[in-house]
Amino acid sequence: MMPFHTIKKLIACIGAGLMLTASATGYAADTGVGDTTITLGMSAPFSGPNGAYGKEMKEGALAYFAQLNASGGINGRKVELVALDDGYETEKTVANTRKLINEQKVFALMAFYGSSPTTEAMKVFSEAKVPLIGTISGAGSLRSPVNRYMFHLRASYADETEAIVNHLVGLGITSIAVFYQNDGFGKSGLDGVTATLAHHKLKPVAVGSIERNSLEVGPAVTQIAKASPQAVIMATLYKPSAEFIRQMRKAGQMPQFSTLSPIGADLLVGELGAKEAHGIGISQVMPYPWNDILPVVKEYQKALQASAKHSNYSYYGIEGYINAKLVSEALKRAGKDPSRDKLVSILEGGSIDVGGYRVTYTPSNHNGSRFVDLTVLGRDGRVLH
């Protein structure tokens, strides 16, 4: 018969084994959290006509993570960001999402770019129950109904277009046309303009569209120029917007051009030149990145200088920085044993102030912020607000 002390040892060993198994099983559900690292994933364009957007976002995010890791990381773990290029193509974004979850084994996703690509990727990360925090899109289709695993950092296109239309109508401008990109982003912008104009008992005097990643603006110019509008609201990105403005002016049209935040003010000025860009109105959904009134702006400027060795501040750059800080603040609150469910609950549990920019989620609202700032491009190409 086995001695009693041997039986006790055997029971202790079995118990320890069961605890190890339970621990391993627990961690299997929370892939991406190691002893010393937390791995996050990002898909955005780093190449193609819109590659500059993704590069600025990634640079801002990496500037924050470099600063964070240098000061000890999150509860002793350093953050690693795996960023994959999707060229603003829907199929690549879906493939990247699968790769980040299944091969790179990320804990969570952040800073996905584009309405249509994110709409398709949503099916993949929702099924895998991997949260996406920060979507570079204001499309209503991504916001309603609420997706438990997707959290928006910026205001919606409806918020932006409402601010632009109300401002123009307030100036006495009632003849307003729309130039939009024929996808989730552009259609959301068109819907927002149409809805706000309806409140003023108005409707667009003309509408023209362009396909994503195209510069074929001719048909839209012809369509919109016929109406000779006082203003054109553009729900398009910087290259087609610049080409549209050039061709409208060649056609003798001089409306007030206004556009939404995804355009990237610095990129539009780079494409058009300061003189041609002068007077264009742009709605913004992030804090003004060129002064340091808000603590988060001061932090971003300092971090970018240290990490990227330059001071080319931008709205996309500060959005990447704020996105990284939001994820990190939520992870800190999740404690030493973070889980994806815990991360979702913490985000839904109230407000997170990242330094003067406040983000608030609830289980029934993942919109985060309704902050919109109206800006205009000055004579020297600088953004004035």
What is the layout of strands, in order, in the sheet containing 365-368?
350-353, 358-362, 365-368
Q: What pLDDT was estimated at residue 5?
A: 52
Q: Cβ(346)–Cβ(131) under 8 Å?
A: no
Q: What pLDDT was estimated at residue 21?
A: 39
- Domain 157-284 in this protein, CATH class: alpha beta
Q: Produce one character per residue of 96-133: b if its CB has 16 or more CB atoms within 10 Å, e if not.
A: bbeebbeebebbbbbbbbbbbbbbebbebbeebebbbb
Instruction: Give how far Cα 213 sits from Cα of 182, 252, 258, 273, Å.
Output: 10, 26, 20, 21
Rounded to an integer, what distance in angstroms lies between the CA atom of residue 232 and that of residue 79? Answer: 43
> SS3 for 198?
helix
Is the fold of 37-154+290-368 the same as that of 157-284? yes
Percentages helix, strand, coil for the chain, rounded to the nearest 5? 50, 20, 35
Q: What pLDDT was estimated at residue 385?
A: 85
CATH architecture observed for domain 37-154+290-368: 3-Layer(aba) Sandwich (3.40)
Q: Cβ(33)–Cβ(338) under 8 Å?
A: yes
Tell me the torsion sign for CA atoms 243, 248, 254, 260: negative
Q: What pLDDT was estimated at residue 30?
A: 81
- Tens-of-pLDDT digits for all 385 residues of the chain? 445 454 444 444 444 444 443 343 333 448 999 999 999 999 999 999 899 999 999 999 999 999 999 999 999 999 999 999 999 999 999 999 999 999 999 999 999 999 999 999 999 999 999 999 999 999 988 999 999 999 999 999 999 999 999 999 999 999 999 999 999 899 999 999 999 999 999 999 999 999 988 999 999 999 999 999 999 999 999 999 999 999 999 999 999 999 999 999 999 999 999 999 999 999 999 999 999 899 999 999 999 999 999 999 999 999 999 999 999 999 999 999 999 999 999 999 989 999 999 999 999 999 999 999 999 999 999 999 8
Domain ranges of the chain: 37-154+290-368, 157-284
Q: What pLDDT was estimated at residue 18?
A: 42
Q: Report the DSSP beta bridge partners of residue 44.
A: 85
Q: Cβ(101)–Cβ(94) under 8 Å?
A: no
Q: What pLDDT was estimated at residue 164?
A: 98
